[in-house]
Amino acid sequence: MRSVAWLATYAALVLAPLLVSAATSGASSATFAVAFGAALGWAALGLLASEFALVTRVRAAAAAFGSDALLLFHRGMALSALVFVVVHAALLAPDPLAAWRSGALGRSGVVATAALLGLVASTIARRRLPWSYEAWLLAHRVLAVVVVAAMSAHAWSALAPDETAARWIAALYGALALGLLASQRLLRPWLLSRQPWEVVEVRDEGASTHTLVLRSTSGGAMAFAPGQFVWLATARRGGFAQEHPISIASSPELDSGRTIELAIKELGDWSREVAPALRPGDRVRVDGPFGAFTPDRVAAHRLVLIAGGVGVTPMRSMLLAMRDRGDRRPVTLFFAAHDRSRAMFAHEFETLRGQIDLELVFVFEAPDAGERCERGRVTADLLRRRLPADLRFTHFFVCGPTPMMEAVEEALCELGVPSARMHTERFDMV
């Protein structure tokens, strides 16, 4: 029901400009094609202003759908808005040069369309372009502001002075979008930086992984569900910078949430240089928790956790929570890695076998001689061999590199596992 309520709210937000303009403008002598083009423009205004709401990190919305799902939906809506804008322009002003020369109305439309094209194209081609993630993110936000401002000005210009309600909708949506952006990028970071978390320990876990142990400086606790993540911002000269999503690796019961552990594997510039350089006493900014990837929200009699590489960190949180809560449900962890040296927390998981009803299955591509494990990858055959035949009331949690997750999802489909009992979290959100 929670997700239905959020969907209804989002739909109302998107539809409002279109419906208000229809109600206030009334009958038109224009052709259907021209009226449709104008209506698509209003629909695009609602879509694009609402894009900011999808990525504003409202915890309740992220909990209902998952942050990675919201981001994927955000991309889908941007593509849809682009199609609407292109058709709108084709129907009302197919010659961009003539539109530019016609005055404020045409120029604002051309600017909004060009900025939107640039924004979508740069996102699609992000990994192929020679720029850092931070540079792309800055350009993305600047272009988004240009799109919204130009689009609102364009809508305002297209309306007669006596079309007051529609004009105010155009202005309000522009202000709403920019307000959401300012709230997320300026106000929220400022508020969070006043309650930083302190690094109390940095543990080398091997396998190119470090665990940051963080404690709240305000004395407050983070109430999170096992499997959720936070956005971690590390300080740089001049202020906090470089936010990254990191799964919480500790139990929610640890120090009643006043202490959390984040396991960071060296994968990119930040995780190789900035994170390992943190020292006890350093202050960081933590925003969260977020995510729907948690067994706390499902009624499962059995849990199957399938992890690849650093994807095991949310599973660690889940297993430690089961231990701390005395949860005796059977749980199977399939942990895939190249070999034992790259399987972080392997020894800890082996210890947990005596504390909870845990079946531990290591799946190594290149195991050491004499290693007791499955060889290769997680496949449908492997799952069929190691799991009971009756998988009713069993929920599956999958996290790891995208190719591995796609292969495991296919394998689970082969086993007849419905998508409602398959839970995934993708780290490569953008």
Would you tell me which residues interact with another protein (CB under 8 A)? 11, 14-15, 18-19, 21-22, 25-32, 34-36, 38-40, 42-43, 46-47, 65-66, 69, 72-73, 76-77, 80, 83-84, 92-95, 98-99, 102-105, 157, 160, 292, 409, 419, 422, 424, 426
Give whichever of 80 and 208 is closer to another protein, judged by the CB atom.
Answer: 80
State the minimum distance, in angstroms, from the CB of residue 230 to another protein: 20
- Give the residue with the Cβ less far from another protein, 28 or 341: 28
Least Å from the CB of residue 149 to another protein: 20
Which residue, 1 or 160, has its beta carbon nearer to another protein?
A: 160
Alpha helices in 55-66 (DSSP H): 59-65
Cβ proximity to another protein, 77 vs 380, nearer residue: 77
Q: Is 164 exposed, middle or buried (0-12, 13-18, 19+ CB in 10 A)?
A: exposed
What six digits make up the tokens of 299?
């009624």
> Least distance (Å) from another protein to the CB of residue 83?
8
List Cβ neighbours of 1 (8 Å cut-off, separation of 6 or more). Answer: none
DSSP bridge pairs for 335 = 307, 362
Minimum distance, C-beta of residue 198 to another protein, in the bound complex (Å): 35
Closer Cβ to another protein, 95 or 365, answer by number? 95
Please report how close the Cβ of residue 398 comes to another protein at its closest, in angstroms: 10
- Coil vs helix vs strand at 28: coil
Q: What is the DSSP letter of 248?
A: B
Q: CA angle, 322 as apex, 343 and 205 as ends, to 5°?
A: 25
**Strand order of the sheet with strand 259-265?**
239-247, 229-236, 283-290, 197-206, 209-216, 259-265
Minimum gap (Å) between residue 406 Cβ and another protein? 9
Measured from the CB atom, the residue of 50 and 216 that comes closer to another protein is 50
Closer residue to another protein in complex, CB, 6/240: 6
DSSP 284-313: EEEEEEE-S--GGGS--SEEEEEEEGGGGH
CB of 28 to another protein, least distance (A): 5
Question: Which residues have a Cβ under 8 Å from the Cβ of 293 and sit 6 or more positions away?
Answer: 66, 227, 228, 229, 314, 397, 399, 423, 424, 425
CB 302 within 8 A of CB 394: yes
CB of 51 to another protein, least distance (A): 12
**From its phi and psi, is residue 238 left (phi > 0), alpha (psi between -120 and 50) or beta?**
left
The 3-state DSSP class for residue 96 equals: helix
Rank residues 84 and 362 by Cβ distance to another protein and give the closer one: 84
